[in-house]
Amino acid sequence: MAQENKAGSLPVEELLQLRRRLAELEVLDSARREVEKELRLERDRAQKYLNIVAAIILVLDRKAKVVLVNKKGCEILGYDELDILGKSWIDCFIPERIRGEVREAFRKLLDQEGEPPDFFENAILNASGEERTISWHNTILKDEQGRVVGTLSSGDDVTEQRLALEALAESEAKLRSVFLVAPIGLGTTSSDRIFIEVNDRFCEMSGYRRDEVIGKCASILYADQEEFRRVGIERKRQLAKEGIARLETKLRRADGKIIDVLLNFSSLSSDPLSNDIFTLLDITDAKRIRERLEKLNSLFLSLGTDVIENIQIILYGAKEVLEAPFSAFTKFGRGGARSLSVPGTSQGFGAEGDAGAHACYTLVEQNAREPITGSDLQATEFVKTDPILSKYPFQSYLCYPVVLEGRTMGCLSIFDYKNREFSRDDIEVAGRLAQALSIEQERLDREEALRDFIDIASHELRHPITIIKGYAISLRELWGAMDWAKREELLEAIELGTDRLNRLALELLDVSRIVRGSFPVNKEEILLIPLLEYAVSRFIEKEVSDRCNMIIKREVGSVNADPNRLLDLIHILVDNASRYSPPDSSIDVVVDRDGRQVTVSVLDRGVGVPDAYRDKIFERFFQLEEAIHHSKSGMGIGLFIAKEIVEAHGGRIWCDGRKGGGSAFCFNLPL
């Protein structure tokens, strides 16, 4: 043991050793600081590298707590780094529904159970609660003794990719579904025209099952090999020129039936030898409709000026276009029913018969607008009553109403010997033909009305002319033998005949003005009651005023009207009442006021007007009696003029039946 010096200090040798030891420690401390500095620099460099990596870098310890996370990981998670470090990865950043699954996978990775997968996908939760799908590559971390201390993981955010893949898969599934159930035939073929795939509609149209055509040549569908070659050549030419091909052809179904189809081809790539996709559309019905329309257009263009001939052309067209053995146009009028049919007489409409005996009368009776069809006609009661069914053994028919001026006045009937179900297209064609018949019937009605008018007008004009001429001859030849009283009687008769002739001429002139739209009405404030009394008094020469009663229910006062036109109006209505009522019956002119309008009614005890004609009697030239049975004076234009006068004053005119018999012609005027 070294000895101490007198001052109690350490031996020199020990002191030197201590100094050397201190120097070594200083060197070691300096070296340690340098190493720590280098380590910090290395760590910072490593962190920078980690931060610029485009993937998540994540280090977890054995308890699955976050030891390290890079900038990309913070961005995806939506947290700052300090908010992530030290947190349980599974409890804080994994959706609850899969935490058990992820925890088990983490345990197996730490325990090195089995071969870990190269990639593992799972969802993570970010700060906003949104799930992101991450594809991980995991590896274990070990210490110097080889013990597992944690995991190192790199992860890529594949959320958008997975969503895109899911959308693509869903889209492919939908496209596949659409392909299979599309309402048109769809399929693909190889460059040598072998079927690769076809859809349900294709199978339905062709009559083949899918397994019967896939892998087979398309030639099995064509009517003949020549058509197969023609379509192939034309398809190739159009595809090379325009990239698509469109052709009409005929195909043979599995049951042997030939159908018209429209084929569309398109290459699946720019290579002309690549596979094709095609569409197949059955145009058999469309082609038949097109041919029918062409026939109808040709039919309508062939119509001429002869109405009866035109109706026959329409009926022949109905027979041909609808492929039926018989067609007829039956119209119903005052005298019953009349028919024109093909095949049948070429002399026009047949004689009138009982309207109710016809099978189609229900359309007219109900004023129907919709057509009716029927089958098993031979088992119906109409076999005995209907003029057509009693003559021909037809089994089915289509009846389409012919409407004229808002009223069903007849019908177009199509008959067939077999029980036939008429298609919607058949009914549509019949509707067009019924419209054509309506137009021709309107022309026929106008022609007949004009002929009737000419006959009636000739009669009406001849009557006063005959009177004037007869009395004039009598005056010339017997002037000297007559006394003044007789001469005045004849001259007065001539004057009355001249007045009647003048009134007929004025009525014709008024009709002409109405048709041209130049019917003059000059309104002024007038007292209505005195005007009506004066109008009635003008019928003295007809001995009507003695049986014409004025009944005023409420005082009226003045109206803004044309006095001359109102005189004409009352003259027409009272004259009409006198001509169609018994000579000893009364005619009542009733005036009543209702608020801001006055109503004038002319009431008679005549034969009345049937309900079906209460609107038509105001039409030009219309008369309840036909010209051949014309027994009452008048040309059928008076009520037409009356209607125009009332409407020109802003009023309305109508005809009602009268209790106890007769008619009530009423009009109202604004006050």
Domain end marker among 157, 176, 193: 157
The pLDDT, as a whole number, for residue 463 is 73
Judgement on whether residues 341 and 429 belong to the same structural domain of the protein: yes
Residue 95 lies in a domain: yes
Q: Which letter does DSSP use for residue 379 in this model? A: G
Helix (H, G, I), strand (E, B) or coil at 360: coil
| Sites in the chain below the pLDDT cut of 70 | 1-10, 24, 27-32, 34-53, 172, 175-181, 269-273, 345-348, 351-352, 452-453, 455-460, 539-546, 624-636
Judgement on whether residues 411 and 552 belong to the same structural domain of the protein: no
| DSSP, residue by residue, 219-236 | GGGBSSHHHHHHHHHHHH
Judgement on whether residues 264 and 297 belong to the same structural domain of the protein: no
Q: In which domain, by residue range, is 127 found?
A: 53-157
For 339-423, where are the alpha helices, taking DSSP H only?
A: 361-365, 382-385
Judgement on whether residues 356 and 424 belong to the same structural domain of the protein: yes
**Cβ atoms of 664 and 657 closer than 8 Å:** yes
Judgement on whether residues 373 and 423 belong to the same structural domain of the protein: yes
Residue 282's identity, in one-letter code, is: D
Beta-strand pair 548-552/587-594: parallel
Judgement on whether residues 314 and 437 belong to the same structural domain of the protein: yes
Tokens standing for 2? 């070294």
How many CA atoms, within 13 angstroms, populate the side-chain half-sphere of residue 11? 7
Tokens standing for 273? 């030898």
Nearest one of 591, 589, 592, 585 to 602, comparing CA atoms: 589
Residue 513 lies in a domain: no
Residue 475 lies in a domain: no
Gyration radius from the chain CA atoms: 53
Residue 476 lies in a domain: no
The length of the chain is 671
d(CA 253, CA 263): 15
Domain end marker among 238, 256, 282: 282
**Cβ atoms of 218 and 194 closer than 8 Å:** yes
CATH number at residue 438: 3.30.450.40
d(CA 322, CA 53): 79
End-to-end C-alpha distance for the chain, whole angstroms = 153
Cis, bond preceding 343 (omega within 30 deg of 0): yes
Residue in the block written with tokens 């006068």: 645
Judgement on whether residues 227 and 89 belong to the same structural domain of the protein: no
The 3-state DSSP composition of the chain as helix, strand, coil percent (nearest 5) reads: 45, 25, 30
d(CA 453, CA 627): 8
Judgement on whether residues 539 and 638 belong to the same structural domain of the protein: yes
Residue 511 lies in a domain: no
The pLDDT, as a whole number, for residue 42 is 57
Q: How many domains does the chain have?
A: 5
Residue in the block written with tokens 């409890």: 91
Domain end marker among 101, 129, 157: 157
CATH number at residue 547: 3.30.565.10
The pLDDT, as a whole number, for residue 627 is 36
Q: Within 10 Å of residue 665's Cβ, how many Cβ atoms?
A: 25
CATH number at residue 71: 3.30.450.20
Tens digit of each residue's pLDDT (9 = 90 or more) over 100-113: 999 998 888 888 88
d(CA 614, CA 601): 15
Residue 493 lies in a domain: no
Sheet containing strand 244-252, strands side by side: 195-198, 185-189, 276-282, 258-267, 244-252
d(CA 507, CA 512): 9
Judgement on whether residues 227 and 314 belong to the same structural domain of the protein: no
Judgement on whether residues 296 and 423 belong to the same structural domain of the protein: yes
Tokens standing for 670? 């604004």
Judgement on whether residues 347 and 410 belong to the same structural domain of the protein: yes
Residue 36 lies in a domain: yes
Residue 480 lies in a domain: no
The pLDDT, as a whole number, for residue 2 is 45
d(CA 449, CA 445): 6
Nearest one of 198, 154, 202, 206 to 176, comparing CA atoms: 198
Judgement on whether residues 260 and 138 belong to the same structural domain of the protein: no
